A = this chain, B = another copy of it.
Amino acid sequence: MECLPGFREFYPEPLPHKDAWSADARQHIFDTWRSTARRYGFREFDGPPLEPLDLYTAKSGAEIVGQLFNFVDKGERAVSMRPEMTPTVARMVAAAERAYKKPIKWFSIPQLFRYEKQQKGRLREHFQLNCDIFGEADLGADAEIVALLIDTLRALGLTEDDFVIRLSSRQAWQRFFASNNGKPDQEYEFYQVIDKVERETPEVSSARLKLLGIEYAAVQDFIRAGEPTPELAILLENLKARGLGAFVKVDYYVIRGLDYYTGVVFEAFDRKGEFRAIAGGGRYDQLVKLLSQGKVDLPALGFGMGDVVLLELLKARGKLPKFTAGVDVVVLVEEESLRASSLALVQALRDAGRVVEYSLTPAKSDKQFKRAIELAARFTARVEPDLDGTKQVRLKNISTRSETIGDLSAAIAATA
């Protein structure tokens, strides 16, 4: 009864073997995602990991079903484990938007599920930071969401040498398509070709573009020129004012495959180009209306960042901290006659917020001290035998090896 293929188990560090997934690294990423989103005034929400199947087929069509963990539940409902968060958040916003001041800035960290074809290392679940702004059509919102994406990666220790945000614009391609006499009903197909032009051979792209009446050379020239549209110029100006100009570049290769984007689109990549996209997003002003069956019409934009490529990048660039148990104090119980007062010391230190370990059972002194070293504890503490009826604590700073004797409050202060 092994774990299902494509699913992960997360272990505490030090890891049992080199391919194990680290629960500590995951928590480090989640904590950083959460604290950065909060600095930007984003508020956390969550929805159910199981949803009506219709929620996804309404947005993505019936062909999505082949990639879902879907089934019929005991109440005869067609349901699916969530493959993405956007339909859920659109429903929640549509139901409650009147109660919130605009713009609504929300984030969540859902686990998402896709029944991908099985390949080595290919996962069927991942965690994703989702950040969205609802109710603001101004480009100031686009700048805010791109700045949040940059600062999330910076907060994880990555620099402008490690990653870049490739900025593009659906409007730019719309105008290009129109001015090259593209047919409106082939616009979405055109976007699909552009989305792949970086990875396909020139021959394939050229042939596909020809069917749409578009010259491959014109596309190449447009991408090479990389002239910012008026919208992108405003966005760049805003990011430069924040001192974030070095983290972005205009790059019309990016268009985002999904058909619901309507404005600025962007993707984050590692500078060396060794990994798949770290994150991606853009503006999707029509989607809330579509998903709420016309009930609520709010401009919207956002991005998603998965935990898997991110973790690979952090590892490759040496940006993960060394994870330990974070033990502040190991209380040494050197005589069983002192166990009761040692337990009182353990409790007092924990009540003061310290992470405290001790041996649950009688153990030799040197073994207890050795364990403190293994745990990378900052201090050891032990109860001094009563001489005058006052309990004293002998505290040892493990890195300096210096010892002090004092009362409990001194021990609490010294281990802060």
Q: Are B361 and A140 in contact (CB under 8 A)?
A: yes
Q: Enumerate chain B residues within 8 angstroms of A50, measured Cβ to Cβ.
A: 4, 7, 69, 81, 113, 125
Q: Enumerate chain B residues within 8 angstroms of A81, measured Cβ to Cβ.
A: 50, 81
Interface size class of A (residues with CB under 8 A): 35 or more
Report if A320 contacts B (CB, 8 A): no
A140 touching B9 in the complex, CB below 8 Å, given contacts A39-B354, A346-B242: no
How distant is A217 from chain B, measured CB to nearest CB, in Å?
39
Q: Are B39 and A353 in contact (CB under 8 A)?
A: yes
Interface string of A39-78 (1 = CB under 8 A from B): 1110111111111101100100000001001011111010
Q: Are A73 and B115 in contact (CB under 8 A)?
A: yes
Report if A311 contacts B (CB, 8 A): no
Q: Enumerate chain B residues within 8 angstroms of A40, measured Cβ to Cβ.
A: 350, 355-356
Report if A405 contacts B (CB, 8 A): no
Q: Enumerate chain B residues within 8 angstroms of A243, measured Cβ to Cβ.
A: 344, 347
In the complex, identify which listed stretch (A96-104, A161-169, A225-233) lies at the interface while the others stay far away.
Answer: A96-104
Q: Enumerate chain B residues within 8 angstroms of A211, measured Cβ to Cβ.
A: none
Q: Are B38 and A326 in contact (CB under 8 A)?
A: yes
A344 touching B241 in the complex, CB below 8 Å, given contacts A1-B91, A58-B1, A360-B141: yes
Q: Are A16 and B360 in contact (CB under 8 A)?
A: no
Q: Are A1 and B54 in contact (CB under 8 A)?
A: yes
How distant is A412 from chain B, measured CB to nearest CB, in Å?
13
Q: Are B361 and A12 in contact (CB under 8 A)?
A: no
Q: Enumerate chain B residues within 8 angstroms of A95, measured Cβ to Cβ.
A: 16
A39 touching B347 in the complex, CB below 8 Å, given contacts A23-B46, A50-B69, A360-B138: no
Q: Enumerate chain B residues within 8 angstroms of A237, measured Cβ to Cβ.
A: 340
Q: Are B71 and A111 in contact (CB under 8 A)?
A: no
Residue among A96, A98, A327, A344 with max Cβ neighbours from chain B (10 Å): A96
Docked Cα-Cα span, A151 to B341, in Å, equals: 18
A138 touching B361 in the complex, CB below 8 Å, given contacts A20-B96, A350-B40: yes
Q: Which of B24, B44, B103, B340 contacts A12 (CB 8 A)?
A: B44
How distant is A38 from chain B, measured CB to nearest CB, in Å?
6
Q: Which of B23, B74, B241 contacts A339 (CB 8 A)?
A: B241
Q: Enumerate chain B residues within 8 angstroms of A325, measured Cβ to Cβ.
A: 41, 43
Docked Cα-Cα span, A355 to B43, in Å, equals: 11
Q: Enumerate chain B residues within 8 angstroms of A151, measured Cβ to Cβ.
A: 350-351
Q: Enumerate chain B residues within 8 angstroms of A88, measured Cβ to Cβ.
A: 9
A103 touching B7 in the complex, CB below 8 Å, given contacts A43-B23, A115-B73, A242-B346: no
Q: Enumerate chain B residues within 8 angstroms of A100, measured Cβ to Cβ.
A: 12, 16
Q: Which of B45, B91, B103 contacts A23 (CB 8 A)?
A: B45
A101 touching B11 in the complex, CB below 8 Å, given contacts A1-B52, A44-B27: no
Report if A106 contacts B (CB, 8 A): yes
Nearest 9 CB-CB pairings of A with B: A71-B71, A12-B43, A16-B99, A7-B48, A16-B96, A140-B360, A241-B340, A242-B347, A241-B343
The 19 sampled A-B contact pairs (Cβ below 8 Å) are A1-B87, A1-B91, A4-B48, A4-B50, A9-B88, A9-B92, A11-B92, A16-B96, A16-B98, A23-B43, A23-B44, A24-B44, A48-B125, A50-B69, A74-B115, A141-B360, A151-B351, A241-B339, A241-B343
Q: Which A residues contact B (CB, under 8 angstroms)?
A: 1-5, 7-12, 14-17, 20, 23-24, 26-27, 38-41, 43-52, 54-55, 58, 66, 69, 71-75, 77, 79, 81, 87-88, 91-92, 95-96, 98-101, 103, 106, 111, 113, 115, 118, 125, 136, 138, 140-141, 144, 147, 151, 237-238, 241-244, 325-327, 339-341, 343-344, 346-347, 350-351, 353-357, 360-361, 371, 374
